[in-house]
Amino acid sequence: MIRPVLRYGEQVLHQAAAPITEITPDIQQLIDDMVQTMYAAPGIGLAATQVGVPLRIFVADVSGGHNPGDLVTFINPEVVEVDGTQYEDEGCLSVPGFNATMARPARAVVKGLARNGREQVIEGTGLLARCLQHEMDHLDGTLFVDRLRGLQKDLIVRRIRKLSRSGKW
């Protein structure tokens, strides 16, 4: 089932998600729904908080569905290691129509549980590193806009407020 993606300003997006204590059939259904929602959006990553569920789960596929082997699911993920720096354009399904160039580590190592409950460790570079860190931010209640500073952030937040007041957000 494709779920609605919440937008910047919704409370659950700005709060840390809770850890999962048991991988139940409901959690498996949530993961299936998140994958369908991510591909339908279309996007390359989606955190459970973005569909209104404050749990530490995210899905990611930097191929956008073109390579089924690229799909990863993380339950209770943690960043183990980061290094380097990359500057690239970044956007978000919860902030549609907006993007900004921002710095992220060029390499990220994330560990957590796969959907089958087994521990996994994934090392990402380039776009995958950016995606992993972006989704980890969501689980901590941070959106990419929150990482921006100065005029760049002010312009985006002002436009969102204006769209919100006019009922277009």
* CATH for 127: 3.90.45.10
The whole domain housing 70 covers 11-165
3-class SS of residue 91: strand
**DSSP letter for each residue of 22-83:** ---HHHHHHHHHHHHHHHHTT-SEEEGGGGT--BSEEEE-TTTTS-GGG-EEEEEEEEEEEE
Judge whether 122 lies within some domain. Answer: yes
Band (28; pLDDT cuts 50, 70, 90) = very high
Is 17 inside any structural domain? yes
DSSP class of 18: B
Q: Is residue 5 part of a domain?
A: no
Q: Is 78:58 a contact under the CB 8 Å cutoff?
A: no
pTM higher than the cut 0.75: yes
Is 2 within the bounds of a domain?
A: no
Can you tell me the distance from the alpha carbon of 149 to that of 34, in angstroms, rounded to the nearest whole number? 30
Please check the confidence at residue 68 and state whether its pLDDT lies above 90.
Answer: no
pLDDT score recorded for residue 57 = 98
Q: Is 1 a member of any domain? A: no
How many domains are there within the chain?
A: 1
What average pLDDT does this structure show over 32-56? 98
Q: How far apart are CA 136 and CA 109, in angstroms?
A: 11
Residue 4 maps to a domain: no
Position 9 pLDDT exceeds 90: yes
Q: Which of 10, 88, 123, 135 is catalytic?
A: 135
Q: Does 78 qualify as catalytic in the annotation? A: no
42: preceding bond cis by omega (within 30 degrees)? yes
Domain for residue 37, yes or no? yes
CB 112 within 8 A of CB 73: no
For residue 163, pLDDT beyond 90: yes
160 within domain boundaries? yes
pLDDT of residue 32: 98
